Structure 1
């Protein structure tokens, strides 16, 4: 199954690869060169297909837990000052996505979307300390009746040139459901209450919609 954000690109890629196959077969007489070009085109097609894959995830709905919004590796767990919405200290948990990860963004908690804003910006590498404040990004806050307000931020990276955000203020957020997509590598930051119980460690790999990032201490 492929994400809807990739349907157009996948179709264009198929047409390009088939046309290139036909041209290579017709106009290149050197066999080894013809074979090399065809293998390269096939690998390119496979990379595009795997990038836009959208695997089903079995989310266990739980208002006391925050789940991973994306696939990737935990690269930040620290107490920071969140200046845009909360304007106070929060626990930041950041998940970095490489180009080979699934790039679907999923709601980390269920509830009501109370804030959603897009920010144009730079394209620093996603792990850069300033990426959260200076890169192109979207900020979304979901209010959960048990957990409180959780902020997640989609951040573009050096390769990511488009962020797709479906969350709009007033929307009902269902934990684990599709809420966006980031094209070609990036990261997502979570900002959680200071008294939250973090359930992941640095460099741990997580699966969007399934891995538990944190839970309440209640």
Structure 2
């Protein structure tokens, strides 16, 4: 059974009403049969695109405190040692996952632990793969402390199409690996900052599945 994320309920309802109205109006005002059907097909395609974007497939998480799982679906585009300027202010190992508009956009907690930091930053809407996107785009930064990994930071970054980031993490929350942490609407990226020396289990170009695939371990 297909499940949808709660962040999409309002948009899905509005889209249904819009599509039904469009189909009915096309039958009333468009006389050419082929044009009428072409317009109706476009309305249905639009509905399907909205439904697939807000889908929320069930994932089976093998909970393991020694592992960090992918927080989102997408493609690994960065694995490098960088300076993390907001929270750690020191060197960390960054793993970035890019989500296209056709990926599942649910964000899941990458590890068990306690939320130590959660902050929203307004910003620009540069394309998600732009080098300055992680510091200049709209974004949220969340740090989860885990007994095995210490503190791990993940950052939801809006892309050129993403106009709203939803973040459920609040400081002091005890969170469970693989559970719902938020949602990014319409294309984006998530950066994960790991302690130096972490054993990364993915490589650039890999396609990962949020909530299931291990991206790093102790």
Normalising by structure 1, we get a TM-score of 0.99
| Corresponding residue for residue 155 of structure 1 | 157
Cα displacement string for residues 93-126 of structure 1 (whole angstroms, at most 9, x for unaligned residues) = 0000000000000000110000000000000000
Tell me, in whole angstroms, the C-alpha distance in 2 between the residues paired with 1:82 and 1:20.
Answer: 49
Which one of 188, 191, 209 corresponds to residue 190 of structure 2?
188
- Superposition deviation, residue 166 in structure 1: 0.3
Cα displacement string for residues 174-210 of structure 1 (whole angstroms, at most 9, x for unaligned residues) = 0000000000000000000111000000010000000
| Corresponding residue for residue 215 of structure 2 | 213
Tell me, in whole angstroms, the C-alpha distance in 2 between the residues paired with 1:193 and 1:111.
Answer: 15
Alignment root-mean-square deviation, CA: 0.4
Tell me, in whole angstroms, the C-alpha distance in 1 between the residues paired with 2:125 and 2:96.
Answer: 17
Tell me, in whole angstroms, the C-alpha distance in 1 between the residues paired with 2:122 and 2:17.
Answer: 32
| Corresponding residue for residue 52 of structure 2 | 50
Matches within 5 A, 1:2-41: 2-41=4-43
Runs of 4+ aligned residues of structure 1 deviating over 4 Å after TM superposition are none
Matches within 5 A, 1:1-218: 1-216=3-218
Alignment: residue pair count:
216
Normalising by structure 2, we get a TM-score of 0.99
Unmatched tracts of structure 1, length 5 or more: none
